[in-house]
Amino acid sequence: MSAVNSAIVIGGGIAGPVVATALHRAGIAASVYEAYPGPAYNIGSGLGFASNGLAALDIIGAGDAVRDVALALPASQIAIGDKLITVPALPGAEPLRIVDRSDLHRVLHDHAAASGVGFHYSKRLVGVDETADGVTAVFDDGSSATGDILIGADGVKSTVRRIIDPTAPDADFTGMLGFGGYARISTPVTPDTMTFAFGRNAYYLYWPLPDGRVAWGANLPSKQYLTLTEARDRGAAQWLSVLRDTYAADSPGAELVADTAPEDFEITGGLHIMPPVPHWSRGRLVLVGDAVHAPSNSTGQGASLAIESAIELARCLRDFDSVPTALGSYELIRRPRVEAIAARGAKINSTKTLGPVMRRLMPLVMPRFFGSKKLQAQMAGEQNYRIDWAASV
């Protein structure tokens, strides 16, 4: 018998709609409150979905809707200069799928709404009042909402994290700025394949699209941290010029940047990684997704882990008749997994920001690193992970 009947979910990104849908499945009413005015505010930009994330979405019945709007890339390779290293496929894992962020938000929103979840937009959480038997969220338009529990699914710059613990750490800067785009190029790229490319000065990745274009993403080393707004304020033309210089010696990097029109170019700003968060919950407040464990884009696991945690949180709230036990069990189940994956991300980040001398050693070091049995076992553990929703926690 659950200790809660109703939940307020702050944030309608990825973890928010998923935790709300899973709670409904568990018999707990949940409503989502999102600061943005609507569900498809993130334009463009592809997000990689790992096998474990899709399996977790299957639990709430949203996996196939995401597969339907995603592009499957059954093969992956590492490019270091002209050298291509095939990444061995993981036995039993689904292929990597790339989904446009807008499509993903729309699918998760529609699925949650069809399951009975209420969405409230233009609601930015600014404060919380907690009592012995409930919690009230206060929004920037002066309105409020009350429930048995409040879930902070409000992303890497979480307000709820700060309310739970005013001394909680902020996300760290990985030392890289993110960009992406779409280009039509003459250099052939390997079909149905994601290529992770260590260019002469910076890392990038690219994959072919069914319409003949090539999608790409770039991680530009930068000593200076820039928010999304600060980076966008500098304008597409200036960044495309910086990236043209950075990737001038790389193929197809140079061509990808040169042939990307400003309207097909995305600026993401500083890329983050969350250090371990000491307090995942306090009283009737709890965190989920990037708010508590953003593992950095290098893992390709941020969204998948956010979804897994959302499902596990709902499962723990379903199965325990005390809020502290439910939230403590949730943290106990999730913390080791997400922190191990974040640590792997931090290692990859360090290879993306190497100086020129170390970069010259990469062709010797990287094949061994990517071919190592230890890494293969780690990747299998990440991607073959499954949650048993039917089993009691």
Kindly list the residues in this chain that would bind ligand FAD in the complex (CB under 6 A). 10-16, 33-36, 47-48, 123-125, 153-155, 159, 178, 268, 271, 289-291, 294, 297, 300-304, 306
Q: State the nearest-atom distance from the C-beta of 57 to ligand FAD, in Å.
A: 12
CB nearer to ligand FAD: give 121 or 369.
121
CB of 285 to ligand FAD, least distance (A): 13
* Min separation Cβ 297 and ligand FAD, Å: 4
- Is the Cβ of residue 280 or residue 320 nearer to ligand FAD in the bound state? 280
Map residue 251 onto helix, strand or coil.
Answer: coil
175 vs 302, beta carbon nearer ligand FAD? 302
Q: Which two tokens stand for residue 190?
A: 């390997």
Query: What would you measure as the largest C-alpha separation in the chain, in angstroms?
Result: 65
Nearer to ligand FAD, 146 or 322 (CB): 146
Q: In a 3-state reduction of DSSP, which class is residue 36?
A: coil
In the bound complex, what is the minimum distance in angstroms from residue 357's beta carbon to ligand FAD? Answer: 28
Shortest Cβ distance from residue 342 to ligand FAD (Å)? 11
Which residues touch 151 (CB under 8 Å, ≥6 apart)? 7, 8, 9, 10, 16, 19, 30, 160, 286, 287, 288, 313
Output 303 or 314, the one with its CB closest to ligand FAD: 303
Residue 185: both structure tokens together: 């190029």
Tell the smallest beta-carbon distance from residue 322 to ligand FAD (Å): 26
**CA dihedral (334, 340, 344, 346) positive or negative:** positive
- Identify residue 12 by its one-letter amino acid code: G
| Beta carbons within 10 angstroms of residue 216's beta carbon | 27
Of 320 and 342, the one with the shorter C-beta distance to ligand FAD is 342
* Measured distance CA(79)–CA(83) in Å, rounded: 6
DSSP letter assigned to residue 299: G
Name the residue whose CB lies closest to ligand FAD: 13
Q: Shortest approach of ligand FAD to residue 236 CB, angstroms?
A: 16
Residue 320 or 382 with smaller CB distance to ligand FAD: 382
Backbone angles phi, psi at 358, to 5 degrees: -65, -35
SS percent in the chain: helix, strand, coil, step 5: 40, 25, 35
Residue 200 has a CB neighbour count (10 Å cut-off) of: 15
Residues written for the chain: 393
Tokens 């490019």 correspond to: 79
Shortest Cβ 242–ligand FAD spacing (Å): 17
Nearer to ligand FAD, 14 or 112 (CB): 14
